[in-house]
Amino acid sequence: MSSKHTIRRRWFGALVLIAALLMLIGGETLAKGRVVLEMFVMYWLVCFALTMLAIVIAFLDVRNRRRETRQEQRHLLETTLKEIESDAKTKPRWTNPFQQ
């Protein structure tokens, strides 16, 4: 039961993580030793920020998923109790067959 917000958040998190991964690969292969110190620091700060953003998005997704699970469990418990209550009203009580 994923909503549009959940799907959008997961895609955004995946894209941010991919961007951080591409920056990591590019920084270790293409840009290594070719940039000045200021650009080097800025490059890795952006990479770090993207990684932190991906982590925050993952935590938000976990929190949202836990909330949805809690709501589904509460709904299931309520419907089950209502079913038991309605069955108890309509079905006859159990009687002991060995008692006369």
pLDDT at 13: 94
- Write down the pLDDT at residue 66: 96
The confidence score (pLDDT) of residue 97 equals: 73
At residue 69's C-alpha, the angle toward residues 68 and 70, to 5°, is: 90
Q: What is the pLDDT of residue 36?
A: 85
CA angle (38 as vertex; 32, 44 as ends), nearest 5? 55
- Domain boundaries of the chain, sorted by first residue: 4-81
Mean pLDDT in each 10-residue stretch from start to end of the chain (100 residues)?
83 95 89 81 93 96 95 96 87 72
**Residues 44, 38: Cα–Cα separation, whole Å:** 10
Whole-prediction pTM = 0.72
- If we measure between CA atoms, which residue out of 54, 55, 56, 26 comes closest to residue 39? 26
